[in-house]
A = this chain, B = another copy of it.
Amino acid sequence: MKLDRIDRNILTLLQENNRIPNIELAEEVGLSPPACLKRVKQLRDSGVISQDVSLVNPELSDNKMTMLVSVEMERDRKDIYKQFQAAIRNASEVTQCYQTTGNYDFILIVCVRDILAFEHFIDRVLRSNSNIRKFQSSLSIRRIKYSTAINIEPCET
């Protein structure tokens, strides 16, 4: 989908606050409310906007412990990767997972209640998987920065 300057403008604003009334949004981007609404609807329907969510203060979660886990697989076989990815998607403890190049194959961000829950996760998802050569965990003691917005540069068109 082609995004023009106004679309990009809309996305930047909605990434900051998606509860802004359409009337205000329209004014900010210099459009009439229906025209603006139509664009927003299109952005949602086409999947450019994938989800609309409330962000909750993590201090209030029962999962106060965040672990960063690097995983190295035994071999570079596609089916092995696929199977691991499926397991990760099913593991509710994993909030993020990145496949990487370099020393490790995957980096996981895992949120759990306590060490016991983390051990349980490791046993269930990692240790039971014989395709994993090794993994290394480190405890996150603080989340310094967390932003869900992606950078959408204004363009000329």
A residues near B (Cβ < 8 Å) are 1, 3, 11, 14-19, 47-58, 60-63, 66, 68, 85, 88-89, 92, 94-104, 106-107, 109, 111, 136-153
Indicate how many identical chains form the complex: 2
Min Cβ gap A157→B in Å is 13
What are 24 sample pairs from A and B whose C-beta atoms fall under 8 A apart? A11-B54, A15-B56, A16-B53, A17-B51, A18-B19, A50-B57, A51-B55, A52-B52, A53-B53, A53-B148, A60-B150, A62-B153, A68-B100, A88-B144, A95-B146, A96-B146, A97-B146, A98-B109, A98-B143, A99-B141, A99-B142, A99-B143, A99-B144, A107-B138
Contact between A55 and B52, CB atoms less than 8 A apart: yes
Q: Which residue of B lies closest to A40 (CB)?
A: B54
Contact between B141 and A100, CB atoms less than 8 A apart: yes
Tell me which residues across on chain B come within 8 A of A89, comparing CB atoms.
144-145
Contact between A148 and B150, CB atoms less than 8 A apart: no
Contacting residue for A144 out of B106, B138, B153, CB 8 A: B106
- Cα distance A153–B64 in the bound complex, in angstroms: 12
Contact between B145 and A96, CB atoms less than 8 A apart: yes
Given contact pairs A88-B144, A98-B140, a sample of 6 additional A-B residue pairs in the complex whose CB atoms are under 8 Å apart? A1-B60, A50-B56, A53-B53, A98-B142, A98-B144, A99-B142
